[in-house]
Amino acid sequence: MLTTTDTVQLTAPPDPAALRRAAAPLTVTVDDEARARIDRGRSFFHALRHGDGGEERRIYGADTGFGALVGYAGRSDEADQCDNTLAHLGAGQGPDLPHEIVRGALLLRTWSLAQGYSGVSAEVVERLAAMFATTFSPAVPRYGSVGASGDLIPLAYATQALRGRGHAYLDGARRPAAEALAAAGLRPLALDGRDALALVNGTSVTTAALALAHDAVRAAHRSLAALTCLLADLLGCDPGFLDEDLLRAYGHPGAVDVGARMRHTLTGSTPSGTRPLQEPYSIRCAPQLLGAAEDALRYVDGVVAADLGGVSDNPLFFPEGAEDAEGDGTGKVVHGGNFFGQPAAFAADLLATVTAQLGNLAERQLDLLVDPARNSGLPPMLATAPGLQHGLQGVQLATTSFVAEIRRAAAPAGMQSLPTNLHNQDVVPFGTQAALRSYDMAELLGLLCGSLALGLRQAVHVGARHPTAPRCGELLDALADTVPPVDPDRPLDADVRAAARLLSTRARS
């Protein structure tokens, strides 16, 4: 199997933690079992390509044009056919993708190719694995993929950089790819047409972005449940809105499970007796909202797991254990559409909807917290001396902006299908756009959680009671150790980011 040393093990498909880890150097090795699978697939490809008696079988991308030009012959020279695969895909635009996504995508590509269904050479997989021991990261533009034949354009840029063409990053500095490879001690990849097509004809960028976004939203979801408990404790709310029988009667498993976790967090809390009989929805309906988000996130869990472990090339080679088109039992090559990223598009669109509502909840809870009409008499904007000081006023303005940006981005991408490529790609999923958009939204959601956490920390400084639930007290102590009180006013951008990082770390621990 494909394995790594250190903290990431690829005896199973990479998980989101492995993708995050891949942003930094790590050791990846290809063991004998994986190499044998790769060699069987490669030998089978060659047997089909150069059959007995000199008879060759047509295989897409090996001896043909691409996309709508599949009916035309490709280039006869193997190296030229590699260029034929990649050159026309150099049409991306926009800023470079984050290293976390690019290296995560290449880790997924390495895993996928190592399954032996792609017909690539073992050297390609081994050289990809070697890259991860360095800080080398291809420069890949954000715009250009429709997510139909996989992530053709972004993966082509990554592949070209591995060949020493285009640009790449080394130690965070952008430079010509050939220079970056040499400085990293890596040799440029030499590819034939089959290798080149296998590297670009898959959904690895989409899958990496979706998995990372989903992981971040999952962490924010857990953080918001804890922050809601801290908010309720600081204000002295009655925890009856989390009653077990109440939520069981609601009938939704996510709400039942989230409610149980929140009751656990609030164990030991004592109501103040001064709050209204019924809290605003941002508190009272939090288990129903967070529970619905949990149910939706469980659907995304399944899509992400399937995509992380799937093989999305075209064509695929099955060298044994299956009959070929002639039924002689020697294996088969299948031309199909596993590169069609529709599951990821649907999942990313759902994730965007969840993110928007979670972000709205965090913003509404902060708005409640800074409002003296609803915050149990705390000063407006949680300022120590209102007028002379402005407390969380700037942070609250920024959260309004974050929510507006999230809402603007939340329009479904998976319904935007446009025909292209002479109608060869007459329906497209736009999974890449959906996943990258969700990745950006997840970052804003983390900042919204950090903003709320900063407000809760400040609330105690300006007069809110200390938590009565021990677990809420632990969270407040961690926040107090991370960010000082706002007294006097100061820029709070770095404090919001620090609180967001703390919450993310705690949620994943």
Taking CA atoms, 167 is separated from 24, 61, 157, 174, 448, in Å, by: 19, 25, 9, 7, 34
68 φ, ψ (degrees, to nearest 5): -65, -15
DSSP codes of every residue in 218-241: HHHHHHHHHHHHHHHHHHT--GGG
The CA-based diameter of the chain, rounded to the nearest angstrom, is 90
Q: Are 83 and 197 in contact (CB under 8 A)?
A: no
Cα gap 327→319, rounded to integer Å: 13
60 tagged catalytic: yes
H-assigned helices in 386-492: 393-409, 431-461, 470-482
Return the SS3 of 295.
Answer: helix
Bridge partners for 386 per DSSP: 389
**What's the residue count for the chain?**
509
Token representation of residue 249: 């009667």
Q: Check: CB of residue 103 under 8 Å from CB of residue 21.
A: no
Distances from the Cα of 461 to the Cαs of 5, 281, 383, 458, in angstroms?
Answer: 46, 25, 10, 5
Closest alpha carbon to 297 in 363, 393, 220, 230: 220
Residue with tokens 């559409």: 337
Residues 352/209, Cβ–Cβ less than 8 Å: no
* DSSP SS3 for 266: coil
Q: List strand residue ranges (DSSP E) for 31-172, in order.
A: 93-96, 137-138, 141-143, 167-170
Helix (H) or strand (E) holding 28: strand 28-30
Residue 462 exposure: Cα atoms within 13 Å on the Cβ side: 30
The torsion angles phi and psi of 16, rounded to 5 degrees, stand at -55, -35
Backbone dihedral angles phi then psi of residue 3, each to the nearest 5 degrees: -130, 160
Cα distance between residue 293 and residue 258, in whole Å: 10
Sheet containing strand 137-138, edge to edge, reads: 137-138, 167-170, 173-176
Burial class (CB in 10 A: 0-12, 13-18, 19+), 489: middle
CA distance 431 to 346: 8
> What is the Cα–Cα distance from 7 to 20, expressed in whole angstroms?
11
From the list 60, 117, 157, 169, the catalytic residue is 60
Residues pairing with 6 in the sheet:
none
Positions marked active-site: 60
